[in-house]
Amino acid sequence: MSIPRMVKMNLLSLFFLVSTVAKSYQLTCQNELRRPEYSDISVECGTSSISLAILICPVVYTGYNESLLILNHIFNMPECKGTLDDSVTPPVVRFTFPLNMTNACGSKFLTSSAAGTGMFADFSNIQTVNVSGAVRSHDPTTGVVTYNAELKYYYSCAYPLEYLINNTQVEVSASSIAVTDKNGSFVSTLTMEIFNDINYTTPLDIPPLGLELRTTIFVQVQADNLTAQYHVLLDRCYASISPNPTNSTFFNLFVPCSSDQMTTVYGNGNGHQSRFSFPAFRFIEQQNQTVSTYYLHCITRLCEISTCSGFQQCNSRRRRDVDPTDASEATILSSIPIVTKNDKSLTSKEEAVSGTKSDSDSRIGLGIAVGVLTLAVIVVVAAAAIFYRRNRVF
């Protein structure tokens, strides 16, 4: 039975491809040539880019090389092609593309909303953006049939857009080959700083004895190395006596649609910086201490430019005024300690001086009154004696 000519050509091209690829990777792969497995892909969800790493040896075993792995069907963009990294063992093909809607090598962006849970349970609209796509093999075989298995590597990164600024590392799920879901976090791009001028150029220097009460403190929450499509929106900022506000006295500087009358907001939700200021105060609970020390905390939302205005509308949000112990499971990144002078000792000295002066004045007044009264009595007695003697003479 003869083999059709077209099939012979396909078999020859397949044999040539596998032979060529196998020879070029023989020294690199050595004993790593095997069928693909679910652990052959890893995903890194960065703040400005996403990186993929796919083991090359199972790809070679299937009949392909790195040039035949295509990201999201994009063939004509060099920055979207994979590159072989044989400096690691086993070697991998790496793809790195920017986290940007306009140029993410064909990745799909999907923003979803859901009611908040846990520390954000009082927020009715918490957003998450999911970035997903796939790396597929490209079969160069021509003809009616092929003997190459198709490879598909799916990836996705889910980024929550609401954060409590803290120093806790985010735990992420493990990765797999065919479908990899892994969480990333923008929280590392967020910082909080305090300044002593409205231009936010000079960091606030707190003296050892504390700030004078009513000193204006300027606060800035900023996102660095963040993709341009998101802005910083402060949902709530408050001060607490403890760096970790669990079971600690707290004071709200502002909450959604409301703020303390002494707090001034200069910019919020309009860019990569949100700013506000407030006058230095002290906690009454610390009145018996030389200085009052407290820390600032901000719940910060990253919102897409097109949706920030919606979150700034009061009718689309629920007002929040809750105890920060809701976030007891988080380790909070506080501002540097803010220390204010406690003026109680000065007040007490003034009161003591005033009281001493008052007592002295009272004693002087009483002595004068007694002297006048004594003199009056002597005058009356003398007058009575003179009058009595005159009556006896007559």
Going by pLDDT thresholds of 50, 70 and 90, the confidence category of residue 392 is: low
Q: What is the pLDDT of residue 43?
A: 95
**What rounded mean pLDDT belongs to the chain?**
76
Work out the pLDDT band at 121, boundaries 50, 70, 90.
confident
Q: At residue 391, does pLDDT exceed 70? A: no
Q: For position 49, what pLDDT does the model report?
A: 93
List alpha helices for the chain, DSSP H: 5-24, 26-29, 56-62, 305-311, 344-393
Query: Residue 146 — very low, low, confident or very high, per pLDDT cuts 50/70/90?
Result: confident
pLDDT band at 100 (very low <50, low <70, confident <90, very high): confident
* pLDDT confidence tier of residue 387, bands split at 50, 70 and 90: low
Task: Kindly state the average pLDDT of the residues 173-192.
Answer: 70
Position 305 scores a pLDDT of 86
Residue 18 is predicted with a pLDDT of 46
pLDDT value at position 149? Answer: 82
pLDDT score at 379: 65
